[in-house]
Copies of this chain bind each other. A is one copy, B any other.
Amino acid sequence: MKVLITGANGFVGLPLTRLAASRCEVVALVSPRANTAHLDAIAPKVTLVHGDLTDDETIERLARTRPDACIHAAWYTNASDYLDSPRNVDSLTATLRLALRLGAAGCRRFVGVGTCLEYDTAGAVPLTESSPLEPGRLYSACKVGAWHALRQVGRLTNMAVAWARLFYLYGPREDSRRFVPSVVGALLEGREAAVSPGGQVRDFLYVEDAAAALWAVASSSVQGAVNVGSGEPVTVAHIARTLGMIVDRQRLVKLGALPYRPGDPMSICADVRRLTEECAWKPQSSLEAGLRHTVAWWREQSTQPLRAGNK
């Protein structure tokens, strides 16, 4: 059994690659100039391929490794502009070209990575896999397009395609501009953490549990969309307060210091029955445990700022 993992140095890709390497042979695609210190640590079980999926030659090299399965976690995800970058179109194209080529090369399992933002987030919650799709950003629109086309590529190439829709993840190595790291960073530095009133309901999942979920989906025979979340709605305020408690600086958490972002959906929550029942997955970390791991990781970074490969 050989599994190709794209985006193997990414936020969820790295824990996924670690997990996969403990179970089978892994081909790991990372971007051309990626720092692979973390992956080097799990070699020789992992064959590293440096390349860019927008380059057909990279796809060809991957197909020639003849993977039995692919978990395709690569996508353009720069935190500053991923929601509306034109590079989402490149990621969409690359996804479909990769799947077509792998299907032709005998790959029999393909797990793509989608997003909860594919759903109509103004609709009823919790969101099930059959809830209406109504993507509101170029990122989520290209994910929806990838999903529709991948189903057909699967049918045409006799490859079982699943589509894991990730909800909100947090954990070590998350981009520092995102919500949890920005609050943790402020609190660890003794600064005020300015957040919105925090009434937004979200589904937060620890990244290691998300990686295990992707592995569970790939290992199952499930086809079609599968929500990947905790299934336990919490408010943003609850997350912020819990971080304040963990760092023991509750008074620095300033709920309401920022306004709600226009258009930010007020309630996103996953129905994860498909993941738990059909893929036999369950999370290992409670929300508090996951946040404690995350704070500990950031604390370690701040005390060892020059250690190689810490991002």
Given contacts A89-B97, A89-B100, A96-B89, whether A149 and B145 have CB atoms under 8 Å apart is: yes
Chain B residues in 8 Å Cβ range of A141: 145, 148-149, 151-152
Copies per complex of this chain:
2
A142 part of interface (Cβ distance < 8 Å): yes
- The A interface, classified by DSSP as helix, strand, loop or mixed, is helix
A86 part of interface (Cβ distance < 8 Å): yes
Chain B residues in 8 Å Cβ range of A148: 133, 135, 141-142, 144-145
Chain B residues in 8 Å Cβ range of A152: 84, 135-138, 141
Interface residues of A in 52-94 (CB under 8 A from B): 84, 86, 88-89, 92-93
Given contacts A138-B156, A156-B138, whether A149 and B92 have CB atoms under 8 Å apart is: yes
Residue of B nearest to A86 (CB): B100
Residue of B nearest to A141 (CB): B148
Interface residues of A in 149-166 (CB under 8 A from B): 149, 151-153, 156
A146 part of interface (Cβ distance < 8 Å): yes
Interface residues of A in 232-261 (CB under 8 A from B): none
Chain B residues in 8 Å Cβ range of A89: 93, 96-97, 100, 149
Chain B residues in 8 Å Cβ range of A138: 149, 152-153, 156
A18 to B133, CA, bound (A): 38
A93 to B92, CA, bound (A): 8
Chain B residues in 8 Å Cβ range of A88: 149
For A89, A100, A132, A142, the residue with the greatest tally of chain B CB atoms inside 10 Å of its CB is A89
A contact residues vs B (CB 8 Å cutoff): 84, 86, 88-89, 92-93, 96-97, 100, 132-133, 135-138, 141-142, 144-146, 148-149, 151-153, 156
What are 28 A-B interface contacts by the 8 Å CB criterion?
A84-B156, A86-B100, A88-B149, A89-B93, A89-B96, A89-B97, A92-B92, A92-B93, A92-B96, A92-B145, A92-B149, A133-B133, A133-B148, A135-B148, A136-B152, A137-B152, A138-B149, A138-B153, A141-B145, A141-B148, A141-B152, A142-B145, A142-B148, A144-B144, A145-B145, A145-B146, A145-B148, A145-B149
